Amino acid sequence: MSWKRLDRKTLIDTKFLKVYEDKVKLPNGNVIDDYSVIEKPNYSMIVALDTDNNIVTIDEYKYAINKIIHTLPAGHIEKGEDPLESAKRELAEETGYTGGEWENLGEYYDYTTKDSHRAHFIKATGVTKTQETNFDPNESLTQRVITVSELKKEIARGEWRANATLAALVAAKLLS
Same domain membership, residue 92 and residue 28: no
Task: Evaluate if pTM is beyond 0.85.
Answer: yes
Same domain membership, residue 130 and residue 98: yes
pLDDT tens for residues 116-131? Answer: 899 999 999 999 999 9
Would you say residue 176 lies in a domain? no
What's the chain's average pLDDT?
A: 94
- Provide the edge-to-edge strand list for the sheet that holds 18-25: 4-13, 18-25, 31-39
Number of structural domains the chain divides into: 2
Phi and psi of 141, rounded to 5°? -145, 160
pLDDT tens for residues 2-41? Answer: 999 999 999 999 999 999 999 999 999 999 999 999 999 9
pLDDT tens for residues 76-87? Answer: 999 999 999 999
The pLDDT of residue 134 is above 90? no
**Per-residue confidence (pLDDT) for residue 138, from 0 to 100:** 79
Same domain membership, residue 8 and residue 56: no
Arithmetic mean of pLDDT, 126-141: 88
Q: Report percent pLDDT > 70 for the chain.
A: 99
Domain of 156, in residue numbers: 43-171
Same domain membership, residue 119 and residue 73: yes
Same domain membership, residue 113 and residue 89: yes
Same domain membership, residue 83 and residue 28: no
Beta bridge mates, 8: 22
pLDDT tens for residues 58-72? Answer: 999 999 999 999 999
Confidence of residue 91 (pLDDT cuts 50, 70, 90): very high
Kindly state the helix (H) or strand (E) to which residue 170 belongs, with its residue range.
Answer: helix 163-171
Confidence of residue 136 (pLDDT cuts 50, 70, 90): confident
User: Which is it for strands 118-129 and 43-50: parallel, antiparallel or unpaired?
Assistant: parallel
**Per-residue confidence (pLDDT) for residue 111, from 0 to 100:** 87
Q: Helix 163-171 vs helix 148-156: angle between axes, to the nearest 10 degrees?
A: 140
Of 172, 96, 104, 81, nearest to 131 by C-alpha is 96
